[in-house]
């Protein structure tokens, strides 16, 4: 009986670890994808802001003075 309970506990723990690792891996993949997407959005916004910011006669931005 003790041997059966030991095997059951091992299988249960192994199953939990597989599920936790699967979910953890999925979370990391989704976070990486969203980070890349957000970074591209921020780069496009920065380009738009720089394009619409007025420059002085020397071609300098206001914060470069």
Q: Would the pTM of this model clear 0.85, i.e. be above it?
A: no
The pLDDT confidence band at residue 63, using thresholds 50, 70 and 90, is confident
Cα–Cα distance measured from residue 12 to residue 10, given in angstroms and rounded to the nearest whole number: 5
Q: How many independent structural domains does the chain possess?
A: 1
Residue numbers of the domain that contains 23: 1-36
pLDDT of residue 44: 94
pLDDT for residue 53: 86
Structural domain contains residue 4: yes
Eight-class DSSP state of 53: S
Task: Establish if 10 belongs to a structural domain.
Answer: yes
pLDDT of residue 55: 86
Q: What tens digit of pLDDT does each residue of 12-57 get?
A: 999 999 999 999 999 999 999 999 999 999 999 999 998 888 888 8
43 and 51 Cβ atoms separated by less than 8 Å: no
C-alpha to C-alpha distance for 54 and 64, rounded to whole angstroms:
12
- The answer to the question of residue 32 being in a domain is yes
Residues 56/48, Cβ–Cβ less than 8 Å: no
Contacts of 65 (CB under 8 A, 6+ apart): 56
């Amino acid at each position: 009986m003790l041997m059966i309970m030991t095997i059951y506990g091992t299988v249960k723990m192994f199953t939990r670890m597989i599920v936790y690792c699967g979910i953890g891996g999925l979370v990391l993949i989704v976070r990486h994808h969203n980070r890349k997407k957000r970074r591209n959005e921020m780069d496009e916004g920065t380009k738009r802001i720089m394009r619409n910011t007025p420059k002085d006669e020397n071609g300098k931005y206001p914060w470069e003075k």
